[in-house]
Structure 1
Amino acid sequence: MKKIITMICLLLSTQSAAAAMAMSNSEPTALLIPIINSEGKQIGAAQLVQKADKVFVHIEAEKLAPGMHGVHFHSVGKCDTPDFKSAGDHFNPLSKQHGFNNSKGYHSGDLPNIEVGADGKVIANIASADVTLQQGKPNSLLKEDGTAIIIHEKADDYVTDPSGNSGNRIACGIIR
C-alpha cells in the first residue's frame, strides 16, 4: 500500500505536466486514480493506460469484503461519501442496456467482475475496448465533468439492467 501511495504522490505532482504534454502531442495519457471507501479513506488505486484501441485498468485495493465484486465506469467524476451516488449511472454514451450477456448490448462502462481474496485485497487487470482516454471522443472517460470507477458490494450478473444486481457502491475513484 505504501508503494501505491508513493506512486500517487509522485503522479499527482507530475500529472498536470504529463497531461499538458499529452494534450500537446494529441496522445492519451496514463492516469493513477486514488480509490476511497465509503468513509473517504484511501484503500487503493487504479491505473488507466491507453494502448492502441484499449484502456488497460490495473486495480490494487485492500480492506474490501472477500468475494466477487462488480466494477463499472460511471458517468460523473464525483465520489461523495458514503454512497457514491454522486457518480451517476454507468457510463453509457451509446445508450445501451446493461450487461455483457444482454442481447441488446451493454454499457461502455461495464467491466468484468474482480475477485477480492480472503485477506481483503485485490490486484486485478482489466482491458476495455469500449472506452478511451482520448479527449473529445464520445466514449472518452476524460469528459468535462469527469467519470468515476466504482467497486460494488456484490458481483455483477452481466444481465440485469441497469446495474447487474451488483449492490451498493463501496469504493470510488474520480477519473479526470
Structure 2
Amino acid sequence: MRIATLALIGAATMGLSACAKTGMDTGTPMAGGQRATATLMTANGVDVGRATATEVAGGVRFTLDAKAMAPGTHGAHIHTVGRCDAPDFTTAGGHWNPTGMKHGSMNPQGPHEGDMPNLVIGTDGRGTIGMTIPGATMAGLLDADGAAFVVHAGPDDLMTDPAGNSGGRIACGVFQAS
C-alpha cells in the first residue's frame, strides 16, 4: 500500500512538473494577452463596478469588483450578447454557453462557460469574484455580437437551468476590448 501511494505521488509530481515546463498551466498570465472590460451599470445608470476578462494560458480569467450594490448574495454570469438595454437588460441574451452544457457548477450536466460563482456584497456595498474558465477564448467572448457581464437580484442556486433561479437582472456591462 505504501509503495502504491508513493508511486501515485511520484506520478502526480512528474505530471505537474511536465505542465510547468511546457508553460501549459491553465491560468498563467500571458505576455501580450488580450483584455476586455465592462463597466456595470444599474437600470438608473449608476456605475456599480467593473468586470475584466484577461486571456491566460488555457482560458480566460474573469474578475468583478463591485461597489454601491445592495448587500447580500447575487448570481453573476457572462451573457451571450453585448447589449445592456435598461430597464431589465434582457437584450444581453442568455448565459454564454458555447459548449451546450446545462446551468450550474452543481449540475452534473453543467456548467455553462458563463456561470460564475455567486457575488457576495458586504454591508459596505462592495464585493469581488474571480474565476478562470479553462478552454474559454477571447475570440469567443468578443464575437460578432459581443458579450455582457450581468448581476442578478438573488443568489444563484448553482443548479437550476437556465439561470439558477437568481431573479431579475440588476446590473449589466458590455465587454469592450482594451
TM-score bracket relative to the smaller structure: 0.7 to 0.9
| d(CA) in 2 for partners of 1:61, 1:103 | 30
Q: Is structure 2 residue 153 aligned with structure 1 residue 153?
A: yes
Q: Distance in 2 between matches of 1:74 and 1:142?
A: 11
Matched-pair contact (CA < 8 Å) for 2:117–2:129:
no
Give the share of equivalent positions with the same residue, in percent.
Answer: 40
More displaced 10-residue stretch of structure 1: 75-84 or 89-98: 89-98
**How many residue pairs were aligned?**
145
Could you say which residue in structure 2 is the equivalent of 1:36?
41
CA distance in 1, matches of 2:129, 2:159: 22
| C-alpha distance in structure 1 between counterparts of 2:172 and 2:136, whole Å | 18
Kindly indicate whether the alpha-carbon contact (under 8 Å) linking 1:156 and 1:165 is maintained by their aligned counterparts in 2: yes
CA distance in 2, matches of 1:165, 1:31: 28
Structure 1: 5+ residue runs without aligned partners? 1-26
**TM, length-normalised to structure 2:** 0.76
Structure 2 residues without counterparts, runs of 5 or longer:
1-31
Q: Cα RMSD over matched residues? A: 1.4
Q: Of residues 54, 67, 78 in structure 2, which corresponds to 1:62?
A: 67
Aligned to 1:74: 79
Bigger Rg, structure 1 or 2 = 2
Distance 1:89 1:112 in 2: 17
Aligned residue number for residue 50 of structure 1: 55
Tell me which residue corresponds to 1:16: none
Relative to the length of structure 1, the TM-score reads 0.77
Q: Is the 8 A contact 1:109 1:131 kept in 2?
A: no
Between the aligned partners of 2:135 and 2:79, the Cα distance in structure 1 is 13
